[in-house]
Amino acid sequence: MPGYELFWISGSPPCWRVMLAMEVKGLDYKPVRFDNAKGEQKDPEFLKINPLGEVPVLKRGELVVCQSLAILAYLDKAHPEPALFGATAAETAAIWQQILQFDATMPGPIRAITRPIFRRRIAEHMEQILEAAEKIRPELDAIEMRLTGAGVLAGSAVTAADIALYPPLMQLMRAAGNEEAQGLNLGLHPLSQHYPRIAHWVERIEALPGYDRAYPPHWRS
């Protein structure tokens, strides 16, 4: 059987989700990295694989899976150990509930903060950034409250809920910790001061096997 190929962009939260899941499951794959600045994901050859020109895309021979959550679900079925979507119906529901709630509320406000900060256009988007932080803080309060027990988002082990929420939250924290952004008092940075349980959870994810291999390479420089 042919091996997995993963089409990805460094720093893309959906791609990071998939890479973390593959590392946790100990799966080999050939990474095919696109340069977002050059728009390589819109290359006609890749559009034949995913007409949306978006990543992540997981490919194995004729099999093509797009959408990070669909890829996680596929991987969990194809490689059941360790289980990412729970062992019982109740666990599966709790995991999906958290992922869907997060994806329904957070990506917009996170983008509203990260884009202007990463593009060094804070001053002209100040109001947008502050408004987005107002929306994000209650969601983070809820996540903080959920991390009372085993220190993971659902059940007692790392699941798809942790893997799905971690990358976008790290992108947010990277923006909030940006030197220019720190003066904005967004109530997000440093994480350990505002959200100690989330900070502890971050350490737990960082200790996962293969975490370093999945870390966005362009964030290291």
Ligand X SMILES: N[C@@H](CCC(=O)N[C@@H](CS)C(=O)NCC(=O)O)C(=O)O
Structure tokens at 137: 């803080």
Residue of 6, 12, 160, 171 that binds ligand X (CB under 6 A) = 12
Cβ-based nearer residue to ligand X, 74 or 197 = 74
Structure tokens at 197: 């349980």
What x-and-dash track marks residues 182-221 binding ligand X by CB under 6 A?
A: ----------------------------------------
Across the beta sheet with 63-66, what order do the strands follow?
A: 29-34, 4-9, 57-60, 63-66
Cα 2 from Cα 173, distance rounded (Å)? 38
Contact 209, 25 (CB under 8 A): no
Cβ-based nearer residue to ligand X, 14 or 216 = 14
Residue of 10, 64, 67, 135 that binds ligand X (CB under 6 A) = 67
For residue 154, report the phi and psi dihedrals to the nearest 5 degrees: -150, 135
Cβ-based nearer residue to ligand X, 167 or 184 = 167
Among the listed ranges 53-61, 145-153, 180-188, 203-211, the one in contact with ligand X (CB under 6 A) is 53-61
* Dihedral angle of Cα 7, 10, 15, 16, to the nearest 10 degrees: 140
For the chain, count helices (H), then strands (E): 11, 4
For residue 6, report the phi and psi dihedrals to the nearest 5 degrees: -120, 120
Residue of 56, 86, 155, 168 that binds ligand X (CB under 6 A) = 56
Q: Does 114 bind ligand X (CB under 6 A)?
A: no
The single-letter code of the amino acid at 109 is P
Cβ-based nearer residue to ligand X, 24 or 184 = 24
Cβ 163 to ligand X, closest distance in Å?
A: 12
Residue of 41, 98, 114, 171 that binds ligand X (CB under 6 A) = 41
Cβ 90 to ligand X, closest distance in Å?
A: 25
Applying CB under 6 A, the residues found at the interface with ligand X are 9, 12, 14, 41, 53-56, 67-68
